[in-house]
Structures are given as C-alpha cells and as structure tokens.
Structure 1
Amino acid sequence: MKKVYLGLLGFAMAGSVVAQQPRTESPAQEYGLREAAPVERVEKPVQSGQRDVLWSEDFADGFDGPNGTWTTAGANGDIWEYTTQIQAACWSGGADAAAQMSTRENGFMLFHADDFNCINPGPPQQFNQDPLAGELISPSIDLSDQPAVLLSFEHWFRHCCSAMFEVWVSVSNDGGATWTDYNVTGNTPANDYNENNLHSVNISAAAANQSDVLIKFVWNATGSSSHYFWAIDDITLEIPPDDDMALEGTPVYSIHDPTEDMWDNLEYSVYDINQVRPLVFSASASNVGATEQTGVFLEVVVSDGAGYETTLTSGSLNMPVGEIATFTLDPYTPPSTPGTYTVTYTINQDQEDANPGNNSATRTFAISDGEFARDGGALSAFVNLGLDEYWGGNGFYFTEAGSIHCIGGALFNDSEIGAFFDFELRAFSATGLDFVANTDLGTVTQSMLNGSGGNNFTYLWIETGAVPVFPGDEYVPMFHHFGGAEPVYVGINGTSPDFSSYVIAEFETQSCAPCYTTSTYMVRIGMSEEFCESMIEEVEEPNSVASLEKVSIYELFPNPTRGITTVEYSLLDNSRVVMFMFDMNGRIVYSNDLGVVGAGDYRHELNFSNLAAGTYTFSIKVNDKHETKQVMIR
C-alpha cells in the first residue's frame, strides 16, 4: 500500500488528503507545533583557525557597515532587519536563547518569516502561510590579486518543512548581472536547526582576482518559505589555508529515500533488540582549502562506552578546491546488545588539516531490550491543536517477528490533570490508516508530565492483548487526544522524512485522514512484557472513586437499553463531575461536564438514542478518578 498522502500545508491543516497523490505536489509543513521552552543547544567553538582576513562585517553599524551599505531585494526583501533579538512569534520560541553568533550582542541580520506571518501567537493561534522571498546583498568588495577566497559566516537557521525549500549564498563578480550559487545548509533536515553556527565555503571560482564582488544571502520563495528564520552575523572573507576539509551538515547512520514505500531504512533512535538491522553510515564533506586534497576518506568509529568499539572506513578519492563529496560506507550490523552507541564520523586526508575541529561529528542510537522508538528522547516542543480530537504518530518497520505489548508517549506539562487519553495502533490499507488496536484508557497525572528536555514516557497496555508482528510488517502507533475541554499535549522531538509520520484530524475547513508531517511524535512501542511491566504503574482497585468512598455509583438502568437510561450516584464531597461514553474503538461518543457538584444524591437521565446498537463503556469521572461500567444499546 502506497503511503502517499498530502502534507500539512501550514500550522493549521491545509489541503484535502488524497491517496496516491504525487509526492512532489505538496511539501509537508509543521502544524500546531509550539516550542516547549528555550531550545537546548550545545555550544561549539568557532573553528576559524589562523587565517588572513581580507574583509569582515560584524553588523555593529547595522546596514551601514564600515565597508559600505548593505541593501535588500526581492518581493519581501524588507523583512531583512538589523536586530539583537529573535522574537518568539508563533513558532520560534527559544530560538533567541540558542543563537550563539560570536558578536550577536552588537546586532545581526535576520530574515524572520515566522514573525512576519504570525498574526497572533495565541491561543487561539493565527498564522498566515504566505511564501516569502528576500535577499540581503553586500556592498561591492575588491578582491583583486587574491587567487583564493574563503567565505565564512556564523548563522542560526531553521526552515520548514521539505527538501523543496532552500536558503543559499550567491556570489557575483559583475555587479549583480550574473550569480554563482552555493549551498550553505548542508543536509540539515527540514524543520530542524543547523548544528554549528559557523559555515565556510570556498568561493574562489566566482570571487578570486575579481574587483567587483557582491555576496547575496537568499531566502527563497517556495511553498515552504513561510516559516521560521535565518540569522546571519560575523562575515569574513579570508585567504584559505592550503589544506582544509570540513564536514557538511548532519551525517546519517541509515539512508532512507522518502520516495520509496518502506520504512525499514528510517533512522530509529532506539532499536528493539530483535529489530536491529544493517545500518549505512554516510557523511558529506567539502574542500574549503586552497589546494586539492588527496586520499580523502570517511572514518566511522562505533562504540558503546562499555568496551565495544569498531572502526569502519570508506574508499578514498581526490577532491579539488570547492568540491563537495558524499562518502557512504558498506552496511554494518550493530551487536544485539542493549546500550547506547556513539558514532564518530571523521574526514581524513593525506595532508595535515589546518582546522581539524570541523572534520568530526557524532551521532548516537540505542539498542533496548523491549523499546522501539524514532524520537530523540528529549521533549523540545509539543503538538498544540487546541481542543480538537486528533491522532498523531510515526511509522515503524519490523524486520523480525515479535509482539507489540504496549505503547507509550511523553506528555507535556500543560496537559490537564485528570484528562483522558490513549494510544492506538494503526496500519495502512487500501482505505487509509486503519484502526488495529487501542491501549487501556489513560488519565493524566502530575507524575506523567514533562518540561523542556523531559524524557518521562507513559506506557499503556494494548487493551485486547499483544499484537503480533511479522517480518515486513509496518505499523503506526499514535497518540490519541479525545478532544473536549481537557487538553492533553504530546511531545515532539526530531524531524521525520516525508511520508513517515502522520496526523489524523477533522477541522472546520479541512480534513486529514491522514496527512503526513515532518515532526516526530514522542510515541514509542513496547515489544516485551518485561519492558512494559517495568514502565507501567499498575493502578490498584482501591484507587477507584468508589473505593475511595468519595462517590457511590449504581448500575445504569435499564441496561441493556434502547436509548434512554438512568444513572444514580452519591457524592460525599463537592467534586467536579464529568460523564463520558466510549465506543469499542475507544472514541468518545458522548460527554457531559457537570462542573463542580455539591455533596448529595443525584439521578441523571441519559439519552443515547442517537448511538448505533452495540456495546459501549460509560465512565463517570469525579475530580481525577473515574469509574466505568459497560452499557449495551439495542
């Protein structure tokens, strides 16, 4: 079954969902995503080495720098601004605290698409989705008699939400009549932040020995350009060292092609011990030095910190000045031993590198005796779709037979204590993302919640027992928000390739049944009883509302019923009372929030005549405890 569905065009849903829709028609975009707190960012030293600076700009004087005036162009060029702060706007909360440009205190240049399109950060949130285009252009620079030129600058960016969107730098040597474009994002995933604030690119081909050089920073107008920002500071033109290689973007440990239909090669953050599979390490590197580099190769070291270590290498090649190459290793299967594995990527060459600090990077993955996950494990944002019902989760591929015993997720701090939630297991069929099973009903407690960086996962048992899986099976575990007056927020961490994470929701103007998203839900699978038992805190029967003697609930009568039934209950204290009815798929089909009710005896007549015949579960919740009874409608 082709899992090709339209993406989410904007933070509120957009576009109808059509199976078999061409993959290139609609880039996915993030929806209802709010930063949980300032973005956690590991500070990295600027690796500029001992270079001879030919020209520099730190924007201390704004557009009117010491070398001349910077100008803007493009349909939205006036969005470029001189500032000392990245406003939170609708979707950039925490970005300012994480920006680490060396001289940011005296100001930097910013293209803030998020701020421009944000009408109201909410709630309720209002956000335009207008594609934007703007260019920031330097004054003319004389580089006569300079046989080699290295452009370096510090930047902090996030773009959304597809590979269709790019930002780049262009260089002209004829007053702007023609331009040479340079990729400056590496392979930073859409919907993610760049990892290092320093970027260097050898622009000798366009700028060396030229007397009228212009440098242009381009924010491109595509369907994905309405979101996030690009901050630029501390620009230098330097004489590059002879020998200097640099890693580009984020290296990977598994290569997934979104145009393929299977999820076997996704990057899973945690592999269940029985779902370990061959990994393919790959990284890109560029020659930013002044001379050709010979014998360039990628070295990968995998270690677990407990004695296991193995070293893998790619083939070698020679790289001319300015060339970017991607190195991919043969498949490697990690040991089936639980632990956290660190992957260190290093670019080596025959020559001694002048700046080895930008030649290495690390990634990590884990192997677990029972847990299977795709998220990064530290809550960085949360899904905020208001009070509407929705489902959200990630796709998983199974290489070996096993069983799914439980599903878990990380809940954000703002979730309502006492609110209901559950998880569902779904699978694609010819009709869509179909229901397979649901977990027990969960009730939010304080101990379940997470702030920024939290990794506290709440697991619930599959209600009808373990679901068997077989080699080649694919399932989507999903968090289920029932909707209503009590919100529950699930965390986000990571970026999902197109067509691998999904949301199901019905909104006033559009439908997602499902839509794909590039945000990775913090929703995980438990694949052993022992693991699930260790993660699930059993609720003893004495904790029910009846046994706590706060309320006495009697049988609904008549039961079975043809639609009209009566419930009687008695409260010993003033309590908030909410009534729910769930169908056999765990969906709320009736709810009635009675508010705070005083102590006493009560009788309520309930009309379920609009419900189809079948078996339902009636629940009456008193404060943060609930009691359930089965109801049969004829």
Structure 2
Amino acid sequence: MNQRYFLLPALLVAGSAMAQWANSVPARKDFRAATPSRDHIQAIPAQENDSRDGGDVIWSEDFANGLDGNNGVGAWTVSGPNGAIWRRKTTGPLGAYTAVTQIIQSTTAANGFMMFNSDSANCTWVGNTPTALPTDQFTPWEGSLESPVLDLSATPYVELQFQQRLRYCCDNAPHYVEVSTDGGATWPNRFAVSADIAVNAVSPTQTRKVNLSCAIEGSPSSVKIRFRHDGDMGTSHYQWQVDDVKIVELYDADLRVVSASASAFDLDLAATYDSLRYSLFPFNQLRPVPLNMTVLNNSTIPQDGTVANFTVTRSGTTVLNQDQSLGTFPLCPAEQKVWVNPSFTPPAEVGTYDVAFGISATNPDLTPADNTGSASFGVSQYDYARDLGTITSFEDGAGDGSVLILGNTFYIANATNLYAARVALNTGSEIGAIITAELRDVSQADFPIIATSEEVVVAQSMLGGNGSSNFTNINFNPPVALDAQMDYMLTVHCYGNIRIGNNGTSEEQTSFIYYISPTQGEDWFYTTTTPMVRMSFDPTASVGDFTSSAGVGLGQNIPNPSRNSTVIPYTLDKGASVVIELHDVSGKLVKRIAEGFRPAGSYRSQLSTQDLTEGLYLYTLRAGDVTLTKRLSVER
C-alpha cells in the first residue's frame, strides 16, 4: 500500500473542506492550570561598558517545569474553552491516527515540551488504546498557552523564536502566535506559524521566528505571548508540539528573505489556476512567471538603499539579472512582498530555469545568510506539468481495484489542442488493466467530463518504481480544443488496481481524487500530494512513425485503419503554405485539403474517409518545396 494521504472533500476554486480522518486522545479532566503569576521582571538594560547587540537572548522557556515555568519570570497559563488540552509531555503524541514517533526533536525535548493533542481529544479510550469518534462528532478544539507578562521596554526590538512540530486536518491551519501589550486583556496582533505546511503533512521539527517589534511598538512594558489553537479554523486534528521559546534582541541591520517563489496562488483570492506552481511550461503556454519574494526588515532601524535582485539562469546562462530599488525599508510594516517588475516571461528554450532572489541595503547586513532565496521551474516543448518528474510515492485509492480517478487542474493561457495525457504508473499496477484520460470542467460541481481519451491497456514496460520518470501517453483522438484563459482538470480513470505515481506538493483544492473513502464513502476529495498526470500538446505523441525533411514533419494518421475519419499530424519548423492530397493506389487524386499558410508549429488535419471505399491510399503533405508521403488504409 502507499502512504495514506488523508484526502479531503473537494470544493471548487474557493472553499474549504470538512474534516475527514484524524486521531485523538480525550482531554484529561485532571489537567492543572498553574496560578497566574502576579509579577514580572524587566529585561536588563545594557550597562556602561557592557554592550548588548543583536542575537542576545532576553528571555527563554524550555518547559522543564511545565506550566509552572522555567524562565525566571513566572508561570504560564492556559485559556479558551479547551485550553486544558495543552499539557507538558516527554513522549510523542498518541491518538487513533497519530503515532508517538511523531515526537518533536527540539533542543531540550528530553526535559519536556508542551503539546496540544487535538487528535487525542477526539477519541474514546480504553486504557492506552484510542478509538476515533465518528466523524460527525469531531470537534475543532480551541485553546491557548499564555506566557507570563514580560516587560520589554528596555529592548523593544525583538523577535520570538520557538521550535515546533505539528500536523493538522482537515480545514485551515489553526496555529497562531498572538501578542498582547496590555497584559492579556486584548490580543490585537497575530501571526500564522504553519501556513506553509500542507494539510495532513507531518511537519519536521522546525524553528520559527516572529518579529515582535511592530506588534509591541508603543506599549512594550506589559507584553504577553500566547500559542493559540484557533477553533474557528474548523480543524479537529492532529497535534501541535511547542518547545524552547526565546525572545531575542534584533540586530541593527538585518534584512531577511522570508519566502521566495515562482508562483502566487491564493485559494481565497484566485479567480483562476493561472498562478499555480507549475513545474513545466510548454512553449505554447509561456507567459509571465510571478516571481516574488517576501522580505522582512528584522532590524532595529529602517534600512536605506534597499535593493531586491532577481536572477534567472538556464544551464549556467543568465537569462535575467534585474535589480529593483525599494528605497528605505521601514520598520513597520516590517514585511513586504516584492514582485519582479517588469515581469519576466521565459524564452521558448527547453531547460530548467533556476531563480535566485536577493535583498541588500546600504548598511552591511549582520546576518547575510538569510538574504537569499531560490526557486525553479522548467520549460518543455510540449509537456505541461505540476509534478516534479520522478516517482517518490504512489496513490491507489482504496487499494483494492475499486474506482479511482486522479488528476490536476491547469490554466490554459493560449488556445491550443490537447493531444494526450501523460501519466507515471508505479510498479505493482495490474498488468492488463485499462486506463483512460478525461478532460473535465473544473468550474462545475462534480467536474463533468468534456472529453475522454482512447483506452490504454497497462503493460509491464509502462511501470516504474521510485525514482522512475517513465511516462505513458493516453491519446485523445481526435485532439481536444482548449480555449484561452480557461481552467481545466485532466484526470486518469483507472479500471483495475492501478498505482499512479506522485511527486510534489499541490496547493489546496487544485489536485483531486475520486475514490471510496473508508470513512466518507465514494466522493471527490482534494490532495496536496501532486499526482504525476500531465497535459501533452505534442501532435506526434501517438505517432510511432514520423518522417521529417528540411524542417517539415509528417506523422502516421490516427486511427489507422480508418472508418469515418482520421487525423493527419504534421509539424513545421518555419511557416509555409500547406496542402494535403489523398491518392488511391492507382495515383488518382481522391481528396485535396488546402490548409493555407501555416506559421511554425504543430498541427493535426482532420480527413473524412466516410465516402471512401475500403483499401489502401497514399496521403501527401506539400509544405513549400517539401513533399512527404505516407500510406493509410480504410476499413468497412
């Protein structure tokens, strides 16, 4: 079996999904909330000849004493209707769907850490054995872990650092750091700390950093910080582990590239799938790539002379090297998103395009290691892809040969013809099973089918294990016309026990599966693991015999033999006037199709054979001075 991905109910471009599978341990009623501390200490100001600089730890907590605190200031408290789910632990999470092996690997994990185990709380227990509640009884828990009050007036330019490990299901990420400057009476500032972690993904242990300077500006003397599991996000599972919390003084000059990307999809705002993370752009879909970086002024002063740089290279050749002046970068707002401007459209040159992002300022940066970012994408002549090219896992639905439909959404910028789907099949797929490709309308409920491909019988030669980049073509005959500026979904329908390769991370609600869920029955769900299902615009994809001369190519007609109609594929390296002629075996001209002048590109010409008698014929392509001929047969 494949690694289970816990796929979720599908909605259209904007929307959310109900919870599906999750794990839980019930909230213990003997949880003890420590008595709130009534006093707090002030961070020690620098003394003469005792300078402080960026990187100094102002305050820290390792949870060796749990809620009682081990920080020299005071105790932690829990709040919210389900705050008691926050507990000090020294062992990993346990629930109906969570394994203790998912324990945080923090610096001081051995002496304890704090955990919000929502998975555990959505279970019933017999001894140490959890049983998940029915899905309609899952609760999106709400609870916060609050620090003691801190006086940061001596050092108001600081960041929060902490280590965490988490997993969540089945709606929006519920993990937030919230900041109060009035001792906890109000919490006007909050920061998402898991937005980059996909739903149902088990995160590694990671160190998070949150700049607090703007949040505490003007009122740094009564600061509280809380880790909030927000029940309003609709998330019922799994767990959030937090440890080694620190408040660290900032440097005088420190710009940071927080994120860098060649995509810009936002589920809540997107009107199309144009800005998804595509791994391959075909020539006929090249368009501006939304290169962007998020930059943080993590300093104690504004930074003058700030410059953002975007550099794109292909096989060592620089394609773009663009500086953009940002002027003075203020302290607040501390974070800005910077887009490449003017926009960048890659050339029609096959290869991998590596993007380097950089930020600099007049003052030399004191932590230059975080001043850069990177991203990459590819350009292909015909393939349009979202996967990363080699199999790393697979999806087989219920794993028993029952219904399985799996695929990705794509945005078509320029009108074209879809000639084939390309799919990577994993070792262990049933030999002799049948697969088809289906083009679907992603704008309507249940994604109705627009066109269905030819059937393909699975053979051993089509399969590959982890690391394989073996793709199988599933041809549309005739090809399907795709409209410009439209979204489509391309799926593979499996008739038999098929394993479809995966590689990559899909944005939520952009890759989909239809199968029989063991908990929610037969339905559409979305997956954040990218299935290896691609669009192909190659007119020769299904042609085994393709002849070329002087920049003109002629493929075998499809289908051959033909009954009512057939398609003749051809390619032109440069523009030419094109004529297609059909002769019988005696040399008599039977049909003539004047295609007119065609610019360089790939084409398919539809030829009616309905009025022809059974037998052999010769079709000839005349493109400028080039003439190519092939045989076709007609059956009755």
TM-score (normalised: structure 1): 0.66
Residue 371 of structure 1 corresponds to which residue in structure 2?
A: 383
1:230 aligns with 2:244: no
Among residues 496, 510, 518, which one is paired with 2:507 in the alignment? Answer: 496
Tell me, in whole angstroms, the C-alpha distance in 1 between the residues paired with 2:81 and 2:202. Answer: 25
1:272 maps to amino acid: P
Find the residue that maps to 2:231 and give its secondary structure.
Answer: coil
Change (3 A) 1:112 1:510: closer
Tell me, in whole angstroms, the C-alpha distance in 2 between the residues paired with 1:229 and 1:501. Answer: 25
Residue 58 of structure 2 corresponds to which residue in structure 1?
A: 54
1:345 maps to amino acid: F
Tell me, in whole angstroms, the C-alpha distance in 2 between the residues paired with 1:130 and 1:80. Answer: 16
1:78 maps to amino acid: A
Change (3 A) 1:397 1:175: closer
Is the Cα contact below 8 Å between 1:252 and 1:282 reproduced in 2?
A: yes
Q: 1:551-581, CA deviations, whole angstroms, 9 ceiling, x for partnerless residues?
A: xxxxxxxxxxxxxxxxxxxxxxxxxxxxxxx
Alpha-carbon offset, residue 291 of structure 1: 1.2
Residue 364 of structure 2 corresponds to which residue in structure 1?
A: 352
Tell me, in whole angstroms, the C-alpha distance in 2 between the residues paired with 1:324 and 1:400. Answer: 35
Tell me, in whole angstroms, the C-alpha distance in 2 between the residues paired with 1:90 and 1:409. Answer: 34
Q: Percent identity?
A: 26
Alpha-carbon offset, residue 160 of structure 1: 5.2
Q: Give the aligned length.
A: 497
Find the residue that maps to 1:462 and give its secondary structure.
Answer: strand
Residue 229 of structure 2 corresponds to which residue in structure 1?
A: 219
Change (3 A) 1:81 1:509: closer
Tell me, in whole angstroms, the C-alpha distance in 2 between the residues paired with 1:490 and 1:90. Answer: 27
Among residues 312, 317, 335, which one is paired with 1:302 in the alignment? Answer: 312
1:284 aligns with 2:297: no
Among residues 456, 459, 469, which one is paired with 2:472 in the alignment? Answer: 459
Q: Which runs of 5+ in 1 are unaligned?
A: 1-9, 35-48, 535-634
Alpha-carbon offset, residue 143 of structure 1: 3.3
1:138 aligns with 2:147: yes
Q: Which runs of 5+ in 2 are unaligned?
A: 24-52, 545-636
Among residues 8, 16, 22, which one is paired with 1:27 in the alignment? Answer: 16
Change (3 A) 1:141 1:470: closer
Among residues 434, 437, 442, which one is paired with 2:449 in the alignment? Answer: 434
Tell me, in whole angstroms, the C-alpha distance in 1 between the residues paired with 2:152 and 2:506. Answer: 41
Matches within 5 A, 1:28-47: 28=17
Is the Cα contact below 8 Å between 2:419 and 2:476 reproduced in 1?
A: no
Is the Cα contact below 8 Å between 1:186 and 1:248 reproduced in 2?
A: no
Q: 1:101-158, CA deviations, whole angstroms, 9 ceiling, x for partnerless residues?
A: 4444554333344454478999999766431222112233343533433222233445
Change (3 A) 1:389 1:222: farther
Residue 240 of structure 1 corresponds to which residue in structure 2?
A: 250
Residue 354 of structure 2 corresponds to which residue in structure 1?
A: 342
Q: 1:480-523, CA deviations, whole angstroms, 9 ceiling, x for partnerless residues?
A: 2447xx4645536312254x333445779978775655553332
Residue 625 of structure 1 corresponds to which residue in structure 2?
A: none
Residue 324 of structure 1 corresponds to which residue in structure 2?
A: 335
Change (3 A) 1:531 1:129: farther
Is the Cα contact below 8 Å between 2:387 and 2:504 reproduced in 1?
A: yes
Is the Cα contact below 8 Å between 2:514 and 2:524 reproduced in 1?
A: yes
Tell me, in whole angstroms, the C-alpha distance in 1 between the residues paired with 2:380 and 2:500. Answer: 26
Tell me, in whole angstroms, the C-alpha distance in 1 between the residues paired with 2:239 and 2:543. Answer: 44
Is the Cα contact below 8 Å between 1:433 and 1:513 reproduced in 2?
A: no
Alpha-carbon offset, residue 55 of structure 1: 1.0
TM-score (normalised: structure 2): 0.66
1:436 maps to amino acid: A
Alpha-carbon offset, residue 430 of structure 1: 6.5
Residue 110 of structure 1 corresponds to which residue in structure 2?
A: 115
Change (3 A) 1:89 1:441: farther
After the TM superposition, which of the residue ranges 81-90 and 319-328 deviates more from structure 2? 81-90
Residue 323 of structure 2 corresponds to which residue in structure 1?
A: 313
Matches within 5 A, 1:407-556: 407-411=421-425, 415=428, 417-418=430-431, 420-428=433-441, 432-443=447-458, 445=460, 448-451=463-466, 454-462=467-475, 464=477, 466-469=479-482, 471-472=484-485, 474-482=487-495, 486=497, 488=499, 491=502, 493-498=504-509, 500-504=510-514, 519-528=529-538
Is the Cα contact below 8 Å between 2:8 and 2:527 reproduced in 1?
A: no
- Considering only aligned residues, what root-mean-square deviation do their CA atoms show, in Å? 4.3
Matches within 5 A, 1:578-617: none
Is the Cα contact below 8 Å between 1:188 and 1:249 reproduced in 2?
A: no
Find the residue that maps to 2:504 and give its secondary structure.
Answer: strand
1:71 aligns with 2:95: no
2:272 maps to amino acid: M
Is the Cα contact below 8 Å between 1:505 and 1:513 reproduced in 2?
A: yes
Change (3 A) 1:261 1:532: farther
1:168 aligns with 2:173: no
Find the residue that maps to 1:274 and give its secondary structure.
Answer: helix
1:398 aligns with 2:402: no
Find the residue that maps to 1:464 and give its secondary structure.
Answer: strand
Tell me, in whole angstroms, the C-alpha distance in 2 between the residues paired with 1:105 and 1:381. Answer: 33
Q: 1:35-60, CA deviations, whole angstroms, 9 ceiling, x for partnerless residues?
A: xxxxxxxxxxxxxx961111112334
Change (3 A) 1:145 1:278: closer
1:177 aligns with 2:185: yes
Tell me, in whole angstroms, the C-alpha distance in 1 between the residues paired with 2:421 and 2:433. Answer: 15
Tell me, in whole angstroms, the C-alpha distance in 1 between the residues paired with 2:208 and 2:107. Answer: 13
Alpha-carbon offset, residue 459 of structure 1: 1.5
Tell me, in whole angstroms, the C-alpha distance in 2 between the residues paired with 1:113 and 1:88. Answer: 10
Change (3 A) 1:494 1:292: same
Is the Cα contact below 8 Å between 1:13 and 1:510 reproduced in 2?
A: no
Q: 1:328-352, CA deviations, whole angstroms, 9 ceiling, x for partnerless residues?
A: 2232101211111111222222222
Change (3 A) 1:473 1:51: closer
Q: Greater CA radius of gyration, 1 or 2? A: 2
